[in-house]
Amino acid sequence: MPRERENLMVTKEMMRKCLGKIKLMAYCPAGEPEVWSLLAQELNELCADDSVASELIAKLLDYERWPGVGELRRLAQAQQRARKIAAMLQQARAERDRHEQECPGYTIICNEAEHVVEVRTCNRSFNEPSLDWEWVICGRSEGINISELERAELAKRPGWISREEHVKRLIAEERRKRWI
């Protein structure tokens, strides 16, 4: 067994507690000693450590009766997935927090060739959006007044225009060309 696995397993004490709780359930596989030893083996394979085992058994006890090993495995899989998602979320939130400490919430883009100023809010995301978990994004752009920032930037640059104005002019020019 690799070294890092040494403290990652269900202790005998926890296993006794888990099996004891399963014995409280209606229709539990009572009696046969080898059934209990197989069940202990199963729990050891499904649970990385005591905290996982304790959580799994707590979920199992929500059932009115012993649901069988198949359901125990499904519960363990769901638990593993939930733990993985929680860990990924925690990491994404920590990354976002680090980013937010430095991020002003926007970027000013100056197109020197066309004399166009554009202010873009920061919408950086730190995880993939998915149906069953939170999308962690930078929150620094909240309440930022883009046009105010743009006006301040334009005041510093006489003759420059905003991106919005630039696009308007391009469209007008395009229309003019079509009518000629």
Tokens of 9: 């397993």
Q: Between 77 and 125, whose beta carbon lies closer to Zn ion?
A: 125
Could you say which DSSP state residue 105 is in? S
Give yes or no for residue 137 binding Zn ion (CB under 5 A).
Answer: no
Q: Rounded to the nearest whole angstrom, what is the least distance from the CB of residue 99 to Zn ion in the complex?
A: 6
Q: How many residues bind Zn ion (CB under 5 A)?
A: 5
Residues 6+ apart with CB under 8 A from 125: 135, 136, 137, 138
Region from 47-55, 68-76, 124-132, 167-175 binding Zn ion, contact rule CB under 5 A: 124-132
| Burial environment of residue 178 by CB neighbours within 10 A (0 to 12, 13 to 18, 19 or more) | exposed
Q: Which of 103, 144, 146, 149 binds Zn ion (CB under 5 A)?
A: 103
- Sheet of strand 106-111: strand arrangement: 106-111, 116-121, 161-162
Residues 6+ apart with CB under 8 A from 30: 23
Binding letters toward Zn ion, positions 139-158, x by CB under 5 A? -x------------------
Q: Between 103 and 144, whose beta carbon lies closer to Zn ion?
A: 103
Q: Which of 137, 138, 144, 154 binds Zn ion (CB under 5 A)?
A: 138
- CA-CA distance, 2 to 23, in Å (whole number)? 33
Give yes or no for residue 122 binding Zn ion (CB under 5 A).
Answer: yes
Q: Rounded to the nearest whole angstrom, what is the least distance from the CB of residue 106 to Zn ion in the complex?
A: 8
Tokens of 131: 């149906």
Region from 31-39, 81-89, 131-139, 163-171 binding Zn ion, contact rule CB under 5 A: 131-139
Binding-site ranges for Zn ion (CB under 5 A)? 103, 122, 124, 138, 140
